[in-house]
Amino acid sequence: MRYYRDYPARNFIRDVAVSYQGDDCLIWPFVRRGNNGYPILYEHGKKRGAHRFVCIGAHGEPPTPRHEAAHLCGKGHLGCVNPRHLAWKTPKENQADKIIHGVHNRGERNGNAVLTAEKVQEIRSLKTTMPRRELAKIYGVTPQTISKVTTGTGWSHIP
């Protein structure tokens, strides 16, 4: 189902974005409904990033259902929809790009994070002196989180 409010946005994708040949970011000129700055449209009642529609228009359907429309410029959160800045990538490849571009949401940048890099290092230094449950109470997290921190399966980007 198409919503009337999406018609100008879909026309922009079809008439402007897909055929854009510039090197600079092409910034989405409409409201960005996503809470992370990405432009959002609806398709069959589901939210989809506008950059995905541009990537399909410029590069064809994704190679597999798992592939994501990835921003090579690292400025998707600013609304870039330049087709020359988009490519199909696996989730793992896309996450690696986010780390390179410095726009990942792991660690303290995750809005749900309770711990900080400093606290993670403290927990790791205390792991042999205190039980997990006690560390969990002190730091306001679960014993499972403490386990992930101390084994390196969580917060693995912190040395």
Q: What is the 3-state secondary structure (H, E, C) of the chain?
A: CCCHHHHHHHHHHHHHHCCCCCCCCCECCCCCCCCCCCCEEEECCEEEEHHHHHHHHHHCCCCCCCCEEEECCCCHHHCECCHHHEEEECHHHHHHHHHHHCCCCCHHHCCCCCCCHHHHHHHHHHCCCCCHHHHHHHHCCCHHHHHHHHHCCCCCCCC
- Where does CATH 3.90.75 sit in the chain? 4-104
pLDDT of residue 14: 93
Q: What is the pLDDT of residue 4?
A: 44
pLDDT on residue 3: 44
For position 5, what pLDDT does the model report?
58
Closest CA to 25 of 98, 82, 83: 82
d(CA 49, CA 47): 7
Q: Which residues contact 149 (CB under 8 A, 6 or more apart)?
A: 115, 120, 123, 124, 155
For every one of its 159 residues, what pLDDT tens digit does the chain have, with 9 covering 90 and above? 344 457 888 899 999 999 999 999 999 999 887 667 889 888 888 888 999 999 999 999 999 999 999 999 999 989 999 999 999 999 999 989 988 887 877 777 777 789 998 999 999 999 999 999 999 999 999 999 999 999 998 888 888
Hey, which residues does 87 pair with through a beta bridge?
Answer: 70
pLDDT of 37 = 81
What pLDDT score was predicted for residue 99?
83
Residues in the chain: 159
Q: Which CATH class is domain 4-104?
A: alpha beta
CA distances from 138 to 66, 129, 146 (A): 40, 13, 11
Taking Cα atoms as reference points, which of 128, 120, 122 lies closest to residue 157? 120
pTM of the model: 0.69
